Structure 1
Amino acid sequence: MKKRLFFILAIAFLAQTANAQLFSKERLANLETFDNRFLTWGYFLGFNSYDFKIEYEEQAQDDNTDILVENQAGFNVGLIGDMRINRYINLRLEPGLYFAQRNLFFPNFEEERDFLRETKSTYIHVPLLVKFSTERLNNFKPFIVGGVSRSFNLSSNEENPQDNEEGQFRMTKGTSYFELGFGIDFYLYYFKFTPSIRGVFATSDELVRDENPNSPWTGNISSLKTRGVFINFTFQ
C-alpha cells in the first residue's frame, strides 16, 4: 500500500506540473541554448523506497516461511554529469549517496530479537544512464531513461563474523542493477529543473548466509535481491 501511494503521488506531481506548463499562457523560451552544450553539470535531491524480492528453496515453498518486508522512505543526494550525444540522446552519470531502511519479519519466532531484523543501508550508488528525449514543447521536454548501475553498501556487515544467531543480518557490499524511468525537463529562467521517477532492479543475490546451513533465517532463501523506486529532483 505504501509503495502504491508512493507511485501515485509521484505520477500525479509530474502530470500536474506538465499540465501547468503545457497550458500556461507564458510562451517565452527560457534557456534556449542550454541543450546545445556538450557537457552540463548539476545535482539532485530525492527520496527512495527500497524493497526486497525474495525467492525460496523449492522444498520450503509449502511451509510457513514467507518473510515480510516493511520498506520505509529514504533520502538521496548526488551529482550529475550529462554528455550530449545528439539532439535526442544524452549519456548521464549520476553518482549519489542513498540512505534506506527495510525491516524484515521472520516467521515462527516469538521474540522480537529473533523475528525482527532492521537493515539500515547507506549506498554509494553509481548509475550510467542513457536519456531519450522528445522535442522540446514550450519550456518543458519529456524523456525516458534507462541503464545499468553499481552500488556499494557501506552498512552491509558482509565481513562481520557474527550472523543472525547473534542478531546480525548480513548482505554483500557490491550489487549490480538495471534501471528504467521517466521524467520531464522544465526550463526555468535561471536553471533547468527535472523531476523524475525511476525503478531499480538488482541482478545478483545479496544475501550473506549464516554459518549454519539450516539457519531459520537464511537456510530456506535461494536469493534476495533489492528492488526500489527513486524520485529525484534535479537542478542543472
Structure 2
Amino acid sequence: MKNNEDVGRSMLKILCVALAAAVALQVAARSNALGLNRAYADQRSWHLGFSVGLHTQDFVFTHNGYVTADGQSWFMEQPSFSPGFCVTGLVNLRLNTYFSLRFTPGMYFGNRTVIMHDVNSGSREEQDIKSNLVVVPVDVKFSALRYRNARPYLVAGAMATFDVSRRRSREPLQLNTADFLLTAGFGCDFYLPFFKLCPEIKFCFGLTDVLSHDRPDFQDDPDGYKFTHSLKKLTSQMVVLSFYFE
C-alpha cells in the first residue's frame, strides 16, 4: 500500500513538472513570436515583390593578334566602370524550408566606354556603348535558418538579356541583341514590420559572344573592319546591387 502511495506521489510530481515545462515553453514561444516581424512570411507558397538597384557592366576582350595591311594592331579595353540603374519585378515560389525559385524580370540601363588604341602607332579611338537590357533571370535561392529578424541566403541561376537600345551603323564595335549569363550571389532578408527588405549582390558571367562579326555597313569602307577583325570574342560581365521589397 505504501509503495502504491509512493508511486502515486512520484507520478504526480512528474506530471506537475511536465505541466510546468509545457507552460514555460508556451510562454517562451509566445514571447519569441511577439519579438519577430512577419513571423509567418516564409510559409507562403508564393509571393510578389520588386527591386531597385545599381549595376556595372564590363567586357571581356579576347584578341586574336590581327594586323592590318598597313601594320596597325588594335587593342581594346574598358578602363573604367559606369554605374547603371536597374528595376525588376519578383515572383518567389517556395519549394521547401530552405529553397525557393525566383523569377525577376526587369530592365537594366547602363553604358560602357571602350578605348581602342593601335599598339604600334599610338593612335586612339573611343566608343561609348549604351544598353537598355530587358532581363529574364531565373534563380534558385538557398536560405539559412532565420535568426531573429534576419536570414542570410545564397542565389544561383541563369539570365537571358535582350538589348532594345537603338543600333547605329558605322560604330567601330556593334553588339548582338541577345546574351545569356550565369549568375551567383548572396544577400540577407531583413524582416521589417510591414515588409521584407533584402539587399543582394549578384555576379553575372556571359557565356555567348556578343560581338557582331558580320558588318555589311563597312562594305564600302574596308578600313572599318579593323576593330571587329581584331577580336576573336567579346563577352559581357555584370555586378548587380539590388534592394528587394517583398
Q: Following TM superposition, by how much is the alpha carbon of 1:170 offset from its aligned partner in structure 2, in angstroms?
A: 1.5
1:30 aligned to which of 37, 51, 54: 37
Please list the CA deviations of residues 124-177 of structure 1 after superposition, one character each: whole Å capped at 9, or x if unmatched: 0110000001000110000000001100001262xx6x3xxx336311111111
Please list the CA deviations of residues 4-49 of structure 1 after superposition, one character each: whole Å capped at 9, or x if unmatched: xxxxxxxxxxxxxxxxxxxxxxx81000000000011000000000
Amino acid at match of 2:75: D
Q: Which has the larger radius of gyration?
A: 2
State how many pairs are aligned: 200
What is the match of residue 63 of structure 2?
Answer: 56
Q: Does 1:74 align with 2:78?
A: no
1:193 aligned to which of 187, 192, 197: 197
2:237 aligned to which of 197, 202, 227: 227
The 8 Å contact of residues 135 and 141 in structure 1, kept in 2 or not, is answered as: yes
The 8 Å contact of residues 53 and 87 in structure 2, kept in 1 or not, is answered as: yes
Q: Following TM superposition, by how much is the alpha carbon of 1:94 offset from its aligned partner in structure 2, in angstroms?
A: 0.3
Measured in 1, the distance between the counterparts of 2:162 and 2:81 equals: 19
Measured in 1, the distance between the counterparts of 2:130 and 2:46 equals: 35
SS at match of 1:115: strand
What is the match of residue 169 of structure 1?
Answer: 173
2:146 aligned to which of 136, 141, 164: 136
What is the match of residue 28 of structure 2?
Answer: none
Q: Following TM superposition, by how much is the alpha carbon of 1:67 offset from its aligned partner in structure 2, in angstroms?
A: 1.1
Please list the CA deviations of residues 94-139 of structure 1 after superposition, one character each: whole Å capped at 9, or x if unmatched: 001100100011102878xx71111000000110000001000110
Q: Does 1:217 align with 2:221?
A: no
Measured in 1, the distance between the counterparts of 2:209 and 2:109 equals: 20
Measured in 1, the distance between the counterparts of 2:173 and 2:194 equals: 47
Task: Give the TM-score, by structure 2 length.
Answer: 0.76
Amino acid at match of 1:232: S
1:43 aligned to which of 29, 39, 50: 50
**Bigger shift: 70-79 or 182-191?**
70-79
What is the match of residue 146 of structure 1?
Answer: 156
Measured in 2, the distance between the counterparts of 1:99 and 1:131 equals: 25
Measured in 2, the distance between the counterparts of 1:156 and 1:90 equals: 36
The 8 Å contact of residues 173 and 228 in structure 2, kept in 1 or not, is answered as: no
The 8 Å contact of residues 201 and 242 in structure 2, kept in 1 or not, is answered as: yes
SS at match of 1:72: coil
The 8 Å contact of residues 156 and 170 in structure 1, kept in 2 or not, is answered as: no
The 8 Å contact of residues 97 and 125 in structure 1, kept in 2 or not, is answered as: yes
Q: Following TM superposition, by how much is the alpha carbon of 1:66 offset from its aligned partner in structure 2, in angstroms?
A: 2.6
Q: Does 1:115 align with 2:122?
A: no
What is the match of residue 104 of structure 1?
Answer: 114
Amino acid at match of 1:89: F
Q: Following TM superposition, by how much is the alpha carbon of 1:217 offset from its aligned partner in structure 2, in angstroms?
A: 1.2
Q: Following TM superposition, by how much is the alpha carbon of 1:71 offset from its aligned partner in structure 2, in angstroms?
A: 2.3
Runs of 5+ unmatched residues, structure 1 = 1-26
Percent identity reads 27
Q: By percentage of residues, which structure has more helix?
A: 2
Q: Following TM superposition, by how much is the alpha carbon of 1:64 offset from its aligned partner in structure 2, in angstroms?
A: 5.4
Q: CA RMSD in A?
A: 2.1
Measured in 2, the distance between the counterparts of 1:101 and 1:71 equals: 9
Task: Give the TM-score, by structure 1 length.
Answer: 0.79
The 8 Å contact of residues 46 and 232 in structure 1, kept in 2 or not, is answered as: yes
What is the match of residue 95 of structure 1?
Answer: 105
Amino acid at match of 2:179: T
